[in-house]
Amino acid sequence: MEDTASKDFGNAVVRVQPGGDSIEAEASDQFVATPRIQALAERALAYLDVGYAVHFAGTAGTGKTTLAFHVASRLGRPVTLVHGDDEFGSSDLVGKDAGYRKSKLVDNYIHSVLKTEENMNTLWVDNRLTTACANGNTLIYDEFNRSRPEANNALLSVLEEKVLNLPSLRQNGEGYLQVHPDFRAIFTSNPEEYAGVHKTQDALMDRLITIQMGNFDRETEIEIAIAQSGVSRRDAEIIVDIVNELRGTGVNNHRPTIRATIAIAKILVHRHARAAIDDPVFQWVCHDVLTTETAKVTCDGQSLMPHKIDETIARVCGAQLKARRNSSRLSLATKGKG
């Protein structure tokens, strides 16, 4: 099959298949599979293999969408991607009546007899969930709780009885579609307290196996920063430590996320700069990328952020320098002994 588009999203190489209704997901070179991520993927695959739907839940930037693509690529089936949306109605998932087709047959075979026949057929257009259920695709329903709960009702019977209930208007007249045995579903969601997110109905949650995605461990964040930007390990360590320290101090404890780490790392590489206290590029990129994150931290109407960032950079860079001096002293001493 000819590719119409191919893009490396860092989480998967995604190819849009002709027709544009499904995509192929392949593992990307930039995907980092540390033991923690591998373990999460294996757990998800175990549930999916048995036929359960998997749900990655967690705060922003914890790798939910990336893992969903990775797991989907391991299943090796075409992927149907749907993004949750407040404007969704159930027809956006299932399909809808798209007007009428009128056909008229004029039979004038015997010149003195004119026979006309008129037919009105409802046109039904399948939407993505229907196509995925019919073809046995892997459905990735990203941020599904941005859709209103009632828009997701069709999923209840799909996940439990493996039947998609379709309005009788569907073109071939069938009111039900038997879900293809290879159909699998992977959901992601952000916590309910996020803006624009709805509370999910218990019935849907009860049909999903939820894997809570905590924050990445330090080593995984370092590996991701290196893989996504090509930054040196030393610089990646400094950036990750700064971002992590600021994450603990803001009004919003999950920001700055790994996206800030990756952005700083990419700019350093692009500008041939270093994660060092005296590097002006490092100074401005840290201020620009990190200030917005927790800018609400104020004292007498003044943002404390610039000061907090400078302090954190100084502390982390200082600690790294000290650690490196200690380790080179240690290796000199070991060599001396040898």
Ligand X SMILES: Nc1ncnc2c1ncn2[C@@H]1O[C@H](COP(=O)(O)OP(=O)(O)OP(=O)(O)O)[C@@H](O)[C@H]1O
Interacting residues toward Mg ion by CB under 5 A: 65
Q: Which does 62 bind (CB under 5 to 8 A by kind): ligand X, Mg ion, none?
A: ligand X
In the complex, the smallest distance separating the C-beta of residue 81 from ligand X, rounded to whole angstroms, is 13
Give me the sign of the Cα torsion angle 166, 171, 177, 181.
negative
Residue nearer to Mg ion on the CB measure, 40 or 164: 40
In the complex, the smallest distance separating the C-beta of residue 66 from ligand X, rounded to whole angstroms, is 3
- Cα separation of 38 and 148, whole Å? 32
Residue nearer to ligand X on the CB measure, 18 or 35: 35
146 contacts 65 by C-beta, under 8 angstroms: no
In the complex, the smallest distance separating the C-beta of residue 250 from ligand X, rounded to whole angstroms, is 16
Site residues for ligand X, 161-220, by CB under 6 A, read 188, 190
Q: Which does 81 bind (CB under 5 to 8 A by kind): ligand X, Mg ion, none?
A: none
Question: Which residue among 93, 227, 239, 246 contacts ligand X (CB under 6 A)?
Answer: 227
DSSP single-letter state for residue 145: G
Residue nearer to ligand X on the CB measure, 64 or 128: 64
For residue 194, give both structure tokens: 């996020």
Give the closest residue to 134 by CA, choosing from 185, 180, 170: 180
SS3 116: strand
**DSSP run (H or E) holding 158:** helix 154-160
- Terminal CA-CA length for the chain: 63
Give me the sign of the Cα torsion angle 145, 147, 148, 149.
negative
Q: Which does 124 bind (CB under 5 to 8 A by kind): ligand X, Mg ion, none?
A: none
Binding site for ligand X (CB under 6 A): 10-11, 30-32, 37, 58, 60-66, 188, 190, 224, 227-228, 258-259, 262
